[in-house]
Each structure stands twice: as C-alpha cells, then as structure tokens.
Structure 1
C-alpha cells in the first residue's frame, strides 16, 4: 500500500492554480469569479490510501527492461533467472517539478532574505492567483531552480513557461478590469525578474525596461485606488524602485504622472522611514543627472554645490541609523537586510563623490590661487570618502556571501586582506538563504571598483570576490564584469545595476 499524503479537498481548477478554495456549494467563489466550470470537491478519504502494488511493479519492470538493453550487468551480479528470487521493489517518493519550483520561488523571493515579492503571500491568502500570475511564478521558480541545479532541461522548461506567461499577460492587459489588478502588475514584475535570471540572447539596454514601460502605464491606470490595500502599496513601492533605476540607467527625468502618484502615496507611507528618505534623495539625484545631460544645468560651481548638498544628506541619513544596526567588531549585522540597506546608501554616495571629483579636476583655475587649493582639498576629501565606503562595503562580504563557515578565527577587520575567501570555490556551496544576499553584493562591489578614486589594492580584492561570487551564483554577467574591471574598462554603474539585477533592493524604498 502506498500512502498518498494529505490531499486537498479543493476543486480541480483551484488545485491547478494553487488558489484558495472556499468550498461554497454548489460552486466555489473562485470559479464563479473567473467564469470557470467548478468540478466539485474531492472525497479525500477515498483517495488517501490506494493499492498501487500492480502499478509500481509494472513501472519497475518496464524500467528494468529498458535499463537492461543499455547497461550490462556487472560480473559479480547473479542473473535473476538463475537466482529465481523475486525482485526487490523500493518505490521512491518524488516531488513534482512544479511544486519544487513553487517552493523554491517562495523560499527565495517571498519569505527569504530578499522578500522582493512578499506581498504575493497576501494575494495567495485571499485567493487572487490568476492564471497569468501562477504561470509567471512557475517561470521564475523554474529559472531560479535551473541556475541552482545547473540544469539545461529546467531552463528550457522555464523558457516555455515564460513565453506562455508573456502571451497570457498580453491578453490580460487588453481587458481594462484585469489590466489594473494586482495580479497583472505582479506578473509583469515577475517577468522582469525572469529576464534578470535568464537574460535574452540579444539583450539591449532598452530591452531591460520593456516590461517596466508597460507597468508604468498600468500604474497610472490604477490611479489612487492602488494604495487602498497593503499588497497594492507594496507593489507600488517595488515598481517605483524599478522605475527609479530605469531613469537613472537612461539619464532621463521621472515622468510627471509618477511624481504625482508618489506625492499622493505619502498619505499612506511613513515619510520619516530611512528607506523612503533615501528614495527622496534618489529622486533628486535623477533630476540632477537629467538636467546636466540636457544642458539645463551646466555651471560647475552649481553642480558641485548641488552634489555636495545631496552627499551631505546621505551622510546625515547614515548617522540616523539606530546604533543596533551598526556592525560589531567583525562587521556582523543582526539582519542581512540591514547590511544590504547600508551598502545601498554607501554605494549610492560613490557616483556623487565621483561627479564632484570630475568637476573639480575639469574646472579651469588659476595656478597657485586659493580656488586651486580648495579644489585640491575637495578632491582629497572625495578620495578619503570613497576609501571609507569601500572598506565598509568590503567588510560586509563575509556575512552576505556566506564565508563565515570558512573563515579562520582571530582575524580582525581593517583591510580587505582580513577577509580571504576559501582557497577553492569547489570547497564552497551557497546556502539558499545566502543566495539573495550574495546577489546584493554585486552592484556595491562593482561601484566601488569602478570608481577612479578606489584604492588599487581594494580594486584587486574586489575583482577576486566578484569572480568567486560569479562562479558560486553561476552568473556569466558577473564574471564578464570582473574581467572588464581587470582590463581597466569603465562602465555606467546604472547599466550594470540593471544587468546584474536590482530586485534585491526593490523593497528598500520607493
């Protein structure tokens, strides 16, 4: 007898879509809402235990016959016909791949360290799992699982689910009622996440923002009603983070429609929260860069003063982090998200500091003048600040990358040499709980090493860490970026942010 496990009493459509069935007679609310035929509820007692002996024996014999044609028996193994004994049957319980993908996704993105899609838990609780959302979750789950298992077959399955989800979303957005649902915007964000895990073969800069452009239009269509639920508010925050990065990547101003929605959102958010205040500085920074690019802001002194003012805001912001958030002697943080948030602020300062240095070095001044001395002092302060941020970011690597089990005792922080990764990457394997945190290190480390003010020894150490993390995460993009840094190539940090994936920061602020 084979025990079938605890079975769901839900109707077949709800079981297939992993929706919460309310068991209302004669049809459940989910089927009524989606206009599907409800097949009724199962009698689980009759299905719980069944006699599978004949089926198991038949499957085993079929497998044995197939294997015997390909694999010869060892000399030490007696012929079954000679022994005359019955075959020993050891059935193995396996978890369906769809279930594994779903739980892998949930562990990584919903309840894991990243928690980028934590609001999906509430959508599932209320049964709001439309088909296009379910298929999108399956695509991302299979994609993540394919990288962890290094499986081409799983990656192909993920691609098929991605294509199916894309087709279903395109159909969903043609209906105004469905287009503005939480599930539709969530599905679009999931496909954006999929493209970070499995990038398209011929990926362009514009391709990264394709889904975001459509989602931005949907944000406008959703209007003020999207703030009425917790899930809707969290979706807005996540979408906002991606929109900010997209505008930084292309050096364009934020759309006025979005800024209007953002202002209204302050009625529902804690505007004293550090994450929100950081995003406010980011909004200013985006407009600042766009003004410089368009030529509407060109005066050197004004540019330096504005950048210095924003940098001062970020310094003040760091000073307001509670003492318990600060690292201990060994830079061990009480929560991974705190280290990730601090690294985001630290890395965010570096492009501002680089801009100040570039303006100081490019501006014509009289030799020996007071202004020349002031510019020299300004450049030195920038270099000191970059070195400080570099040290703090590097000190987070052991915890976020999961090196602690491999570190010797007695080492103290103070230089990158204090944090030596294992001698061989083969000795390491990232735990599931460390994978998202390791991803969160990639962009801050690159930003430090990409700065001309970065000390050379720190840059060399970071390149080594990026190569280790690239192999552990099976990320070809990370390895390519590390090689580019080694060759002395300079790249736009926001394009790299988009390439490496910004999902880890999507819940740190709007």
Structure 2
C-alpha cells in the first residue's frame, strides 16, 4: 500500500482539534447560532469526531449505525429548515445537453449557498456509505440499506444538478459571462473560475461512490475534464483521471487535501 495513502487514512481517524472547538465555542458568543452555515459546520465537526470514534474505539455495528443515523438525521433537519433564499430554482431543459445530467439543473442565489449545500450533500453521501459498508447485525431491517442507497443517489444527483449554473457557458451559465454570451470560448473572471473549482470535490464524492447511479460517474468524469480544459483548472483533470484509473486510494480526505481544503470554506 502506498505510504501517502496510509498517512492520509491515519489523519482521517483523528478527531477535531480541541483548539478549533474552543475557538468555535468562543466565536459562537458573537454569532447567530441559527445561521445555516454555522449549524452546518457544527454538524461537520460532529461527523469528523464520529468518524474518528468509529475507527479508534471499534464501535459495534449496531452502535456505529445508530450514531450515524442520528447525525444524518441532523443534516436532514437542517436541510428542511433552510431559509427561502437558500432554495434553488429547478429548470428542465427541452433538449439533452452534455453539461446537464438528466435534462435538469438547479440555480442558486450565489456560489456560497451552492457550496454550503454541496458540503451537506457530500457529508450525507459519506454517512450513508458508512451505513452500507458496515456489516449490519442480524435483525437489522433491509429497508435501512435501501434507504441509505437512495439517499446517496439523491444527494449525488443534487450535486450534479448544482453545477451547470457555473460552467454551462452556452446554457445555464450564459448570463454570468463577460462579454458576448454566445461566444464559444468566453473570457472568465477569477471569480467564475473559482466557482468551478469549488465544484470539483463534490463531483468527486458523488462520482466515486459505488452506490451512485450508473450514469453519474461517467457524466461527472466528463464534466471534470471539461472544467479542466475549458477553465484551465489542472486539479479537475487530475481528479477526473483518479476516478478513471481508480488511483484515489479510496481516500476522500487525500483528495480533499490535494485540492487545498476549500470545500468547507463557504
């Protein structure tokens, strides 16, 4: 096994640093604790700690699944309580497009909302993968695995629906371009390029799951190649190649670190 992969796995077993928790506890005195981003990051911290606990303390299958389900439920509640400004507008296209999966895409008020919701989705994918990867004890309801698989499928499709707004230059993203919107190779601002960069990790998480729909992985790989070539983002090409070659060491946090840790910075 590659040493770098093993080192990244070891880091993934570590809980949230105590200093970060203390800092967040202090900052909480000056912020609106009902803010969706603040609540989201609280749940992400819980996820990191739970992942470490499951690995370090060898929790039983039933205990681990119970804790995972409880945390996944918190993400579900958060998603159900989002303000109206966070809700996307769904558009159905009349004709198939290489940039749109299943002829449907979502438009958000800004990149920060998209990024935060994609963090919620990718963590839910990882949580539900954990449910499926555990050897559930005899007597566990079969519906549990079915529900987890459906959750992964739904989150993956929602991630894919969030991306055309930012890179479909001749369609969903046309209004955000500089200059002539019908130009085949338009100029992109640094902000537009960064918008696309923030899509790489969610697309990677959605595509790498073996529980995602069959068409989702090849579509995501194609879009990552497009981001890489059209927006000159080399890391998008690298991630696409990892997915194609299966060389990501099955380690999501190694890819996260390679991308610069931007994904939770909404």
Aligned pair in 2 of structure 1 residues 445, 308: CA closer, same or farther (>3 Å)?
same
Whether the 8 Å contact between 1:347 and 1:448 is mirrored in structure 2 is yes
Going from structure 1 to structure 2, the CA distance change for 1:248 and 1:270 (only over 3 Å counts) comes to: farther
Q: 1:311 aligns with which of 66, 72, 91?
A: 72
Residues 505 and 257 of structure 1, relative CA distance in 2, 3 Å threshold: closer
Partner Cα distance (1:340, 1:264) in 2 = 25
Q: Does 1:260 align with 2:22?
A: yes
Deviations 1:132-185 (A, max 9, x none): xxxxxxxxxxxxxxxxxxxxxxxxxxxxxxxxxxxxxxxxxxxxxxxxxxxxxx
Question: In the alignment, which of 319, 323, 328 is matched to residue 89 of structure 2?
Answer: 328
Computed over aligned residues only, the root mean square deviation of the Cα atoms, in angstroms, reads 2.6
1:379 maps onto 2:145 in alignment: yes
Cα separation, 1, equivalents of 2:6 and 2:145: 35
What residue number does 2:43 align with?
Answer: 281
**Unaligned runs of at least 5 residues, structure 2:** 92-105, 173-183
Provide the residue aligned with 2:253 in structure 1.
Answer: 494
Match of 1:474 among 217, 232, 239: 232
TM-score when scaled to structure 1? 0.43
The SS at the match of 1:501 is coil
Contact 1:439 1:504 in 2 (8 A): no
**1:339 paired residue number:** 114
CA 1:293–1:486: 2 relative to 1, 3 Å = same
Contact kept in structure 2, 1:247 and 1:286, CA below 8 Å: no
Q: Secondary structure of the residue that 1:263 maps to in structure 2?
A: helix
Residue 12 (structure 2) aligned to one of 244, 250, 254: 250
**Secondary structure of 1:292's match?**
helix
2:208 and 2:243 in contact (8 A); partners too: yes
- Contact kept in structure 2, 1:248 and 1:494, CA below 8 Å: no
Deviations 1:103-148 (A, max 9, x none): xxxxxxxxxxxxxxxxxxxxxxxxxxxxxxxxxxxxxxxxxxxxxx
Contact 1:449 1:459 in 2 (8 A): yes
Cα distance 1:355–1:501, how it changes in 2: closer, same or farther (>3 A)? Answer: same
Q: Which has the higher contact order (CA 8 A, sep 6+)?
A: 2
Aligned length: 237
* Offset at residue 275 of structure 1 (A): 1.0
The equivalent residue for 1:465 is 223
Deviation at 1:301, TM superposition (A): 0.6
* 2:201–2:263 contact (8 Å) kept in structure 1: no
Q: CA deviation at 1:250?
A: 3.1
Query: Taking structure 1 as reference, are residues 304 and 481 closer, same or farther at Cα in structure 2, changes over 3 Å only?
Result: same
Contact kept? 1:478, 1:500, Cα under 8 Å = no
Measured after TM superposition, the shift of residue 342 of structure 1 is 1.1
Aligned in 2, Cα 1:485/1:206: closer, same or farther, shift over 3 Å?
closer
